[in-house]
């Protein structure tokens, strides 16, 4: 084994948290001198303009409608993994999401045999808590997890959910919890409301701005974001910043027009960079019904922005109720609105929450310690004897 690892990463090239984390892992490993490849359907969002650091391999699907009645992505992905592993002599194949990525990695290993790289699967949430436990997909998802050489999750909640949801005894599938991380230099607590004035001309300096960032899927409960904002606005005029896009955006816009509040809300759609807007806001809203971690909330905390969120999933592992934000039962719109009003009405309270939020991220969720753990995992896998067909086991 040489000091330099030859690593490939597969992820969804979208604005979701899993793709962001996967990309940051790859870029950080490249900065440490390792050879890094990305195998994906398209160039991941955060690789735009940075392709000299890494090597990108596009997964191209064949168009044979007479043979395939649905997408060929998993097969095309497995074929590309085989190609890259064969010619590049990969040490590690790190896949993000069990289905279809870990499944494709297993197929590739079956073809490659002894020349196959070790497979690391990072689970991010919906691949296990929603899609994975669907009876139509549960057997293949469980199989793909068990056939990985190592498995990681970003939260203790998701580790337990994986073991329980798939009926996997912990001793048969060790799972490392490596929390998601944030670039604390990019997401910094530097407040400059000038960017907000461009979105909301004439914005009073003391008028609070609430913010939400997500993929606008039903699990994010975008209707609750609107309802919390409306409830707060009845007590104290405020604005709402909505970053992201998805199927729940149009219903939210219709509801805001019905309430006569559309002029007080800015929908920005998908944004590659929004740290300065996040840092200029006052409260981050995350009323989701499912969250394995909540990367957007972590980015807000890093900017010193208190979070008001549902008390579910992995959110309590990063948001400390009454210290860095507030947690309420899922669907408790009035309770969340009350917490927001507490924060925006008391500048001293907001300041304490802001400072603690930033410090908590500095203490627990910085990029370098997380990359240290991933790198150590890769090295453990490449230094132990190969064991195709089952997960790597730590030494007793």
Q: What is the mean pLDDT of residues 364-369?
A: 96
Can you point out the beta strands (E) in the chain?
6-10, 35-40, 55-58, 92-96, 118-122, 150-153, 175-177, 209-214, 239-244, 265-269, 283-286, 307-310, 325-328
pTM as predicted: 0.90
- Provide CB contacts within 8 A for 371, sequence distance 6+: 25, 28, 29, 32, 181
58-115 pLDDT tens trace:
998 766 554 444 568 899 999 999 999 999 999 999 999 888 999 999 999 999 999 9
Tell me, what's the pLDDT at 392? 44
What proportion of the chain, given as a percentage, has pLDDT over 90? Answer: 74
Domain boundaries, the chain: 6-181+366-383, 194-364
What proportion of the chain, given as a percentage, has pLDDT over 70? Answer: 90
Tell me, what's the pLDDT at 49? 63
Tell me, what's the pLDDT at 65? 53
Of the given ranges (230-239, 268-277, 357-366), which has the lowest mean pLDDT?
268-277
> Does CATH place domain 6-181+366-383 in 3.40.50.2000?
yes
Nearest to 85 by CA among 60, 64, 104: 104
Separation CA 121–CA 48 (nearest Å): 24
Count of alpha carbons within 13 Å of 86, Cβ hemisphere only?
Answer: 12
267-323 pLDDT tens trace:
999 887 899 999 999 999 999 998 988 899 999 999 999 999 999 999 999 999 999
> Does CATH place domain 194-364 in 3.30.420.40?
no
Tell me, what's the pLDDT at 396? 30
Same fold, 6-181+366-383 and 194-364: yes
Q: Are 186 and 275 in contact (CB under 8 A)?
A: yes
Tell me, what's the pLDDT at 103? 93
Q: pLDDT averaged over the chain?
A: 90
């Amino acid at each position: 084994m040489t000091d330099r690892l030859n690593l490939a990463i597969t992820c969804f090239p979208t604005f979701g948290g899993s793709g962001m984390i996967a990309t940051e892992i790859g870029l950080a490993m490249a900065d440490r001198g390792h050879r890094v490849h990305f195998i994906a359907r398209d160039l991941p969002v955060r690789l735009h303009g940075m392709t000299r650091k890494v090597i990108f391999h596009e997964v191209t699907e064949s168009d044979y409608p007479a043979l395939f009645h649905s997408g060929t992505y998993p097969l095309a992905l497995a074929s590309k993994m085989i190609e890259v592993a064969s010619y590049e002599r990969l040490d590690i194949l790190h896949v993000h999401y069990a289905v279809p990525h870990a499944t494709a990695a297993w197929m590739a290993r079956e073809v490659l045999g002894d020349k196959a790289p070790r497979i690391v699967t990072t689970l991010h949430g919906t691949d296990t808590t929603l899609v994975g436990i669907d009876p139509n997909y549960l057997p293949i998802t469980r199989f793909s997890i068990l056939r990985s050489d190592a498995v990681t999750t970003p939260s203790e909640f998701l580790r337990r959910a994986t073991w329980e949801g798939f009926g996997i005894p912990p001793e048969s599938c060790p799972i490392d919890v490596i929390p998601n991380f944030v670039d604390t230099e990019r997401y910094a607590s530097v407040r400059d409301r000038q960017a907000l004035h461009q979105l909301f001309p004439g914005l009073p300096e003391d008028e609070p701005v609430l913010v939400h960032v997500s993929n606008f899927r039903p699990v994010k409960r975008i209707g609750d974001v609107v309802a919390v904002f409306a409830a707060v606005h009845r007590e104290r005029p405020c604005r709402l910043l909505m970053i992201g896009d998805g199927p729940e955006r149009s219903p939210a816009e219709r509801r805001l027009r019905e309430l006569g509040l559309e002029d007080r809300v800015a929908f920005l759609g998908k944004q590659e960079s929004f740290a300065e807007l996040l840092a200029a806001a006052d409260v981050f809203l995350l009323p989701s019904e499912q969250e394995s971690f909540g990367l957007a909330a972590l980015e807000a905390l890093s900017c010193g922005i208190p979070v008001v969120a549902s008390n579910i999933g992995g959110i309590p592992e990063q948001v400390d109720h009454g210290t860095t934000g507030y947690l309420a039962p899922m669907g408790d719109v009035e309770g969340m609105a009350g917490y927001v009003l507490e924060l925006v009405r008391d500048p001293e309270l907001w300041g304490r929450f802001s400072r603690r939020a930033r410090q908590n991220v500095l203490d627990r969720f910085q990029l370098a310690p997380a990359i240290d753990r991933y790198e150590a995992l890769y090295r453990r896998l490449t230094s132990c004897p190969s064991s195709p067909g089952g997960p790597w086991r730590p030494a007793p």
